[in-house]
């Protein structure tokens, strides 16, 4: 397991290096939202697809929900603690996140809509809707980046900036990013399997495995990338925030669509992922915690205090997983 963990660490370093340098041309928001989000979500997609295709619907949905619970609280918490303290090479007192309004609004909408749609379970229509939400998010993100570039062109900022970025430098960054993505895709599977085997041998329940262990394994590349980026100062922290928001929107759209379509592969086109009392509880809990975690982001500034509170929120969320369902 340690060997595959080391492989993931190295692949995540390649990914963060490539993302940081690609952001010089395409911007932190675009790279974090799209390229880095998709790349670091690959392990989760594999876990959810495998579970859904095997008929393990609770595992598939819980893994997706657990991922949001983990990264919107503990993930952001660790990143902020690093970025705002001496753990960073260039610590900042706060991280300005007012540029991520589209992402925060979209994340709230998709989380609430998914929770409402799950009242009667997920079917192929829901899968299509999730896919449409994902496509709409990509379109809006591309359009926003395009508008920003057009605005910068009026002041000749883009031309003067991009002229400083050589084609060779850009190609190198792209190749490193691709190499990191491939490394994550190769290493995530064996690492998840080794961690799963260890969990089973330890006697951990299926619910704990799906809600806590699976997301920890699936989110390992993203957590490592975030920590590496956070140590690089304001630019790296901005990419990390964009990555978290973008990947969690992917979880509420693309990942749930993968679960639905995986279920269709398992038992046919009209197969439905049923709602259960435990899954409904998890859906409501994670939706509420996601909205609470977004409050500091809606205030446009994240600091060390925000990071500590988000860490506490994660502990509360995990504790409630064990307490409330037993009532």
Q: Are 84 and 122 in contact (CB under 8 A)?
A: no
How many residues are listed for the chain in this entry?
A: 327
Q: What is the mean pLDDT of each run of 10 residues along the chain (327 residues)?
A: 71 72 64 67 75 79 85 90 88 83 89 91 92 90 71 52 61 83 75 67 65 69 76 78 84 90 82 82 88 87 91 89 61
* 273-312 as b/e: b if 16+ CB within 10 A: bebeeebeebbebbbebbbbbbebbeeeebebebbebbbe
Give the tokens for residue 228: 């590496």
How many other β-carbons are positioned within 10 Å of the β-carbon of residue 263?
A: 26
Q: Report d(CA 307, CA 240) in Å as an integer.
A: 14
- pLDDT in the model for residue 163: 46
- pLDDT in the model for residue 135: 92
* Residue 94, helix vs strand vs coil: strand
CATH of the domain at 230: 1.20.1420.30
* Residue 122, helix vs strand vs coil: strand
Q: Are 188 and 45 in contact (CB under 8 A)?
A: no
Total structural domains within the chain: 1
Q: Where do the H-state alpha helices sit in the chain?
A: 2-26, 28-30, 37-53, 57-69, 76-83, 101-117, 124-153, 157-162, 167-201, 206-208, 214-218, 220-230, 234-250, 256-267, 277-298, 304-323
Range of the domain at 117: 2-326
* Residue 49, helix vs strand vs coil: helix
- pLDDT digit string, tens, across residues 150-171: 665 555 554 444 445 567 777 8
- pLDDT in the model for residue 28: 59
Q: Are 268 and 116 in contact (CB under 8 A)?
A: no
């Amino acid at each position: 397991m340690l060997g595959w963990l080391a492989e993931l660490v190295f692949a995540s370093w390649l990914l963060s290096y490539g993302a940081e340098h690609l952001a010089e041309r395409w911007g932190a928001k675009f790279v974090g939202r799209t390229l880095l989000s998709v790349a670091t979500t690959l392990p989760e997609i594999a876990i959810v697809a495998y579970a859904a295709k095997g008929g393990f619907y609770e595992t598939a949905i819980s893994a997706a929900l657990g991922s949001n619970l983990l990264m919107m609280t503990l993930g952001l918490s660790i990143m902020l603690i690093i970025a705002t303290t001496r753990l960073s090479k260039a610590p900042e007192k706060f991280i300005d996140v007012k540029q991520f309004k589209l992402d925060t609004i979209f994340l709230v909408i998709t989380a609430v809509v998914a929770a409402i749609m799950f009242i009667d379970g997920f079917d192929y229509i829901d899968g299509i809707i999730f896919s449409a939400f994902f496509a709409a998010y990509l379109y809006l993100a591309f359009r926003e980046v395009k508008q920003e570039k057009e605005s910068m062109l009026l002041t000749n900022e883009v031309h003067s900036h991009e002229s400083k970025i050589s084609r060779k430098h850009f190609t190198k960054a792209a190749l490193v990013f691709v190499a990191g993505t491939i490394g994550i895709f190769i290493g995530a599977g064996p690492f998840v399997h080794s961690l799963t085997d260890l969990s089973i041998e330890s006697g951990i329940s299926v619910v704990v495995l799906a809600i806590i262990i699976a997301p920890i394994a699936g989110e390992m590349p993203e957590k490592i990338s975030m920590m590496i980026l956070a140590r690089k100062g304001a630019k790296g922290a901005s990419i990390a925030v964009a990555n978290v928001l973008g990947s969690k929107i992917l979880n509420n759209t693309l990942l749930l669509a993968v679960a639905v379509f995986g279920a269709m592969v398992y038992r046919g086109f009209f197969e439905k992922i049923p709602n259960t009392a435990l899954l409904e509880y998890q859906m409501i809990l994670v939706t509420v915690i996601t909205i609470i975690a977004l409050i500091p982001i809606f205030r446009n500034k994240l600091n060390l205090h925000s990071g500590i509170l988000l860490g506490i929120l994660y502990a509360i969320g995990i504790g409630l997983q064990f307490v409330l369902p037993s009532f």
